[in-house]
Amino acid sequence: MSVRCTSLGQFIKEAQNQGCIDEELAALIESVAHACTSIATVVAQGTLATTDGVATEINVQGEAQKPIDVLTNAIMLETCERSGALRGMVSEEMAEPYSLPPGSPRGRHLLVFDPLDGSSNVELNMPFGTIFSVLRAPEDAGELLPAHFLQRGRQQLAAGFALYGAATMLVLTLGAGVHGFTLDRTTGTFLLTHPDLRIAETTCEFAVNASNERFWEPPVRRYVEECIEGRAGPRRIDFNMRWIAAMVAEVHRILLRGGLFMYPRDRKVPARPGRLRLLYEASPMAMLVEQAGGAASTGREPILDIVPEVIHQRVPVILGSREEVERLVRYHEIFDRGEALVFRTPLFNTRTLFQADANEAEGLPCR
């Protein structure tokens, strides 16, 4: 059987036969895929999607929900609770963990997810997606508690995302590589089209919301300024900058052609250490990126090593091609040691605090 003829179901069955996953996890992944297929059908209608009568509120993040957020959250809950593999779920759209209804079959797994990452892109007809992660419920878990979900990223059993764009894709890791499946709309089947995705170690492309530059810490300002200076600067290479405003789309691009994505720590909201949620955004994406040969860090520690303190915890995120992530980690280490010097070249006519080091120049060819 050729790779392009391998369905997601066959792929999961083979992983089960090889002892990589158990029957429960296999059933749960199939349920997640089914939910994503249903979501793809809904969001493909764009502003024609029927959301009349869908009640919205301010979610636990302090953000106003969109009807499409609520609708896709319900699809995930209703589809996955029937898998027989779950003990409970956590979603961006719910303040507390979701316990299965009485009488529902219960399993040994926990599902955390963002039902529609980048939902503001729906009305713009731009890419957005669903992010998910699977954890093992504690063996002695009684009544479902938030504490049951507070596991470091390295304890994830599986992680992935669905991308809704010109084509619908499901990108998945079961802890042994990253694989991409494209939805065949004629059959409703995900087919393996991108086996063994690997992130290029070097890159000349980065993604960051440059409008927040004035709030960045000096290590990030230094890095971005060096990229913007291009061949005339210490890196001696021209970089391209991208920003789609949907983490799913940014990470998908990195998996296919390398790059760096940043939502770093900043001073815009001093009480908030980062923008992205650890459990259902940063950790699953970090697992995918590391499984594909890349790296993921806050700038000061690997994302997968963080032990969550609360289910909706936020963290800074820097992930992508390994060499660029490691460079940013070094810059944070230099800054934290108090070794920053005056750097006179301005970024958007502002001053930063680093002296560029020409010895760090590299001759990486750009695409």
Residues flagged as binding site for substrate? 117-120, 209
* Binding site feature residues: 92, 114, 116-120, 209, 281
Q: What is the DSSP letter of 133?
A: E
Report which of 259, 263, 262, 290 is spatially closest to residue 364, judged by C-alpha positions. Answer: 259
Backbone torsions φ then ψ of 175, nearest 5 degrees: 95, 5
Q: What is the DSSP letter of 64?
A: B
Distance CA 317, CA 263 (A): 5
Tokens 């039902």 -> residue: 115
Could you report how far apart the first and last alpha carbons of the chain are, in Å?
A: 34
Tokens 């052609």 -> residue: 257
In sequence order, the β-bridge partners of residue 136 are 109
Q: Which amino acid is at 196?
A: D
362, two tokens: 């590299």
Distance CA 206, CA 224 (A): 9
Q: Is the dihedral of CA 291, 294, 298, 302 positive or negative?
A: positive
Backbone torsions φ then ψ of 173, nearest 5 degrees: -130, 135
Report which of 212, 317, 349 is spatially closest to residue 267, judged by C-alpha positions. Answer: 212
* Binding site feature residues for Mg(2+): 92, 114, 116-117, 281
Judge contact between 40 and 168, C-beta under 8 A.
yes
Torsion of CA 54, 123, 213, 365, to 10 degrees: 130
153 by Cβ neighbours in 10 Å (0-12 / 13-18 / 19+) ranks as: buried
Distance CA 263, CA 74 (A): 28
Judge contact between 66 and 119, C-beta under 8 A.
yes
**Length of the chain measured in residues:** 367
